[in-house]
Structure 1
Amino acid sequence: MKKSLSYLWPLTKSYESHYNGKLEVTWINGRKVLDSQHANYSYGPLQEVLDLGLAEIRADRAAPILLLGLGGGSAIPLLRKKYNYYGKITAVELDASIIEIAKTEFSIEEHQPLEIICADAEDFVNTTSGKFGLIIIDLFLDLRVPEKFFSQLFWQNISRLLRPEGKVLFNAGINSAHEVQIDNLLENAGFDLNFRKKEEVYGSNTLLFAERN
């Protein structure tokens, strides 16, 4: 019934988050989306951006995947249903409220094998010893990516966690946000990765692709 009514007018449910303030899950035009105050977090334009990025990656579909930044989990059905990745997905999300939304509103636990870890992505990559064939980095707080996710140390850890043929997809900024940080990252890369930048994805986002030298 809600899905049918959503074609007539949006139906919204609000949640409070310690890290993200007010979050809204809205039925609109037959599907649910997750939004923060100023940005889409899952299943709307963000999913389209990640879809375009994944379409350009040729990674091992059986290898483990690391997803840094779960949101509502919209990358996961793309990986499973559209691109046929079947390796274990480890999703790391700082915000416990978002994890609960992903589970209850978007049934993300249907997409096994899946492990969801409530942790800071920086701390996780500092300490884990896992190896991954694909790492997706989507770590926005509202409209911005925290500065620490452009640091040399963070990217040294990302490189360390990649398998020899591993690939990285980084949703790095919206419009001109983080232009300086992105340029610094590309100019000072010293962690055995080749980068490629794609700007104005759907008119707004900058994606970085990386793989082993």
Structure 2
Amino acid sequence: MKKLISYIWPTTRRFSSEINGTLEVTYINGKKVLDTENANYSYGSLQKILEIGLTKVDLKSVENLLLLGMGGGSVINSLKKMGFYEVIFAVELDPEIIKIAKNEFNIKEAGNLIIIQANAAKYVKNCAEKFQLIIIDLFIDIKVPTIFYGKEFCENVSNLLDSDGSIIFNVGINLEKKPDTVQTIISHFGNDFEFQVLPKVNRTNTLLIGKKLK
């Protein structure tokens, strides 16, 4: 009944986060979405954007995946739909979002899903694991904190990636107004990477698809 009503009368629940401000879980057209004041965080347009990125990498070669910025877990949901059941390390800074992911979207730790509440910049600096795919989706509302555009962060991510591993980096919204940003990020990863730039994915976001050559 609740699902049927959502097609006629969307319902919204609000949660307060010290990091992201007001978070909204809206039940609309038979599904839940997670939004901040100005942006979709999970299960709406963002899920479609990252799914496009996932089609650009070889998931069959991935045994360990690092997700920086779990949000409500929509990309985890997408990976399952694509038949990916290998190990996922999901890092999320906001404990309120982790709680929402578990309680509202049934994203819970299991044998192949490890949820880590941590600052992504600190995590990649100290992590000893190696990964074949790293997904970077680190927003506070509609902005990517500048630390994640920095040389140190990019080098630390590179160090965690196996040879022939891939990166999907959601680098921001409407970056055609800042063309130097994308090239700066690419340069931080160095000559060991080959990048494909996907501008205006779903008419909004720029994705970087990177392949580590050695």
Same fold? TM cut 0.5: yes
Shift of 1:165: 2.0
Distance 1:103 1:61 in 2: 28
TM-aligned CA distance change 1:4 to 1:61, over 3 Å: farther
TM-aligned CA distance change 1:129 to 1:103, over 3 Å: same
Paired residues of 2:154 and 2:188 also in contact (CA < 8 A) = no
Distance 1:61 1:158 in 2: 19
Percentage of pairs with the same residue: 46
2:6 alignment counterpart? 6
Alignment of 1:67-82 (within 5 A): 67-81=67-81
- Which contiguous aligned blocks of 4+ residues in structure 1 show a shift greater than 4 angstroms? none
Paired residues of 2:88 and 2:112 also in contact (CA < 8 A) = yes
Paired residues of 1:122 and 1:149 also in contact (CA < 8 A) = yes
Shift of 1:111: 6.3
Shift of 1:110: 6.9
Unaligned runs of 5+ residues in structure 2 are none
1:115 alignment counterpart? 114
Shift of 1:189: 3.8
Q: C-alpha root-mean-square deviation of aligned residues, in Å? A: 1.5
1:37 alignment partner, SS class: coil
Unaligned runs of 5+ residues in structure 1 are none
2:154 alignment counterpart? 155
1:109 alignment partner, SS class: coil
- Give the alignment's TM-score, normalised by structure 1: 0.94
2:56 alignment counterpart? 56
Distance 1:190 1:157 in 2: 12
1:16 alignment counterpart? 16
Paired residues of 1:172 and 1:178 also in contact (CA < 8 A) = no
Distance 2:62 2:181 in 1: 33
Alignment of 1:101-140 (within 5 A): 101-109=100-108, 112-140=111-139
Cα shift readout 1:52-98 (whole Å, capped 9, x = no counterpart): 110111134551110000110000011112x2122110000000000
Distance 2:187 2:83 in 1: 34
Q: How many residues align?
A: 212
Alignment of 1:26-45 (within 5 A): 26-45=26-45
Shift of 1:188: 4.8
